[in-house]
Amino acid sequence: MAWTLSGVGIGDGLAMGKAWVLASARLDLPRRRLEPDQVEPELKRFREAVSIVNKELSGLKETMGQEASAEVSALLELQAIILRDPLLVAATEQRIQHDRCNAEWGLLQQLEAVSAQFDEIEDPYLRERKADVQQIVDRILRAMQGEVGLEEVVRKNNHEDDGGWILIAKDISPADMLILRRHRFLGFVTETGSATSHTAILARSLGLPAVVGVSGLLNQIAQNDIIVIKSKEGAVLGALNADDQSVYRGQQAVYADDLKALDDFKQLASCSLDGVSVLLMANIDLPNDVQIALDRGCDGIGLFRSEFLFMNRSSIPSEEEQFQAYSAVVKTMAGRPVTIRTLDAGADKEVSALSFGHDKPANPALASRAIRYSLQSPDLFLSQLRAMLRASAFGQVKILIPMVSGPSEMISAREMVQQAMTSLRAKGLAFNPKTSVGAMIEVPSAAIAIDGLVAHIDFASIGTNDLIQYTLAIDRTDRSVAHLYNPLHPAVLRLIDQTIRSCNRANLPVSLCGEMAGDTDLTRLLLGLGLREFSMHATEILKVKRVVRGSSVASLSRGVGRLLKLPDPALVKSGLSAMNAKALRPD
């Protein structure tokens, strides 16, 4: 009988194939006591396994080069840091010596101890980093057990099959994902993870359909089972009869053809049926992401998240390092605009090199983060602003200030920009004195009081991820309330509408750079609200362009006006679905 499991869907793809189950190395571990003369050989065996894993991670990072996205590279570096952490390796060696237990048993006991510490962390994002430790432990265990390398196992099981495989796992490490992406995998499903887990980040980076956080997954699926992933619905289907398989095989072929057809839109202008031009920009994390954005036909960089330059390192990047990174992006974009956001650290963006005080805040999302932290750290802020301004000598740079709650923070930030300019003039360093400085509208107070803010900004960028979170009082990283996170809530839509209208009245450019920008179900809604500049993950640009080119903005504006009057998210969703369906029907 057919069954369906639910989880968190990543992307909007559909895939059908055979299940390839990646078992955990923590199953059926040997547990034994050592004789005194066996301790040193056991320590040696453990250290050799750690060395093997270290070489594997280093080798992957070196050989992948440009193939690895910024996200993947950062996650690999994070796992390398975990491997060097004495809390894992040195503590396991102590267990082997003092308890005289075999290495596998000692490592598993230490994993349990470390996991317990993570479970006590209140912040959901940081709590999920337990999975990174578990993945490293699995790799060490495989090395100790003398298993054949994962790539060889995958190649042996995968190379002759024409139907394609769907990876099923408890979790997938960044290193394993880099190996798996070389082979014929159509998508993947994991038992753990959430929308902010590393597995989800990797799925978005690779553009693969995926479903994560599927409870009971490994008890339900066996090797070679035929399954279907519907990532938009967050559904995994199995035990399908021949007729069902035929239907999904046809849908999968249509989806594949649809992706290929998107290439036809690369050279086409991004404008509506009634001639309204729309800018489609890309969000990036590191300079290596720029080429992907250009390949998808972006009009510029709408959001360069500078905090990724600060992550997974023990020291703060210098002004020169930042300048090199920013200028590399600006030069590559060759005249297209590049919007660089100043440091947005804190909350779910952990930067170990920065100090956020001795006491951990009860709610990091409401604590000292983003512009609040920058203004409290003027030397760091000035260094970053100087680097951005220096990059402006090579192209069109726009400086974006995150988490602005009102005019006072923006006034202070602009004063710091002027200080940075004065410093550069004194040193004789080139920059564009007319560099635009804008505010990210992601705090409800900024959207509500936007009329008082427009006098102090050159442009605005709506960050819907946090705007939704703060408006609805929902932690977007907490799975227990994730179902309440709704971009179609009337309060959210009215804040977006108010921001766009106010910026238009003040003749200020306004963009939207949250996840809503890349969701094609919401494209017509945003066009109807008056949005003319979208910024999204590069993989979504051509999908959004296709919707733009098939839409009449004039008719959408009237329809969206009616949606804004609805009192309930469910009614908005129903009305939007009807509006999208009408736009797809020929006259």
- Helix 553-563 and helix 569-584: axis angle, to 10°? 160
Question: What does DSSP say about strands 226-230 and 235-238: parallel, antiparallel, or unpaired?
Answer: antiparallel
Q: Which residues of 117-135 are buried (b: 16+ CB within 10 A; e: fewer)?
A: ebeeeebbbbebbbbbbbb
CA torsion, points 406, 408, 411, 416, in degrees to nearest 10?
-110
Task: Specify whether the CB–CB gap between 537 and 262 falls below 8 A.
Answer: no
If DSSP codes are grouped into helix, strand and coil, which group holds residue 54?
helix
Quickly tell me which residue has 């997974």 as its tokens: 312
Respond yes or no: is residue 198 known to be catalytic: yes
- How many whole angstroms separate alpha carbon 18 and alpha carbon 163? 7
CA-based angle 161:163:166, to the nearest 5? 95
Tokens found for residue 296: 């998808």
**One of 101, 298, 513, 537 is an active-site residue; which one?**
513
- How many whole angstroms separate alpha carbon 169 and alpha carbon 573? 34
Going by the DSSP 8-state scheme, the letter that residue 26 receives in this structure is T
The residues, ordered by sequence, that sit 6+ positions from 296 with a Cβ below 8 Å of its Cβ are 266, 282, 538, 539, 541, 542
- How many whole angstroms separate alpha carbon 496 and alpha carbon 526? 9
> Which residues make beta-bridge pairs with 271?
277
If DSSP codes are grouped into helix, strand and coil, which group holds residue 334?
coil
Task: Name the residue among 119, 111, 168 with its Cα closest to residue 141.
Answer: 111
At 177, give phi and psi (nearest 5°): -65, -40
The residues, ordered by sequence, that sit 6+ positions from 345 with a Cβ below 8 Å of its Cβ are 307, 310, 351, 354, 356, 369, 370, 373
Largest CA distance in the chain: 85
- How many whole angstroms separate alpha carbon 313 and alpha carbon 345? 14
How would you class 511 by CB atoms within 10 Å of its CB: exposed for 0-12, middle for 13-18, buried for 19 or more? buried
Reported residue count of the chain is 587
- How many whole angstroms separate alpha carbon 195 and alpha carbon 475? 12
Respond yes or no: is residue 513 known to be catalytic: yes
The backbone region for 577, taken as left when phi is positive above 0, alpha when psi lies in -120 to 50, beta otherwise, is alpha
**One of 101, 198, 489, 503 is an active-site residue; which one?**
198
Active site residues: 198, 513
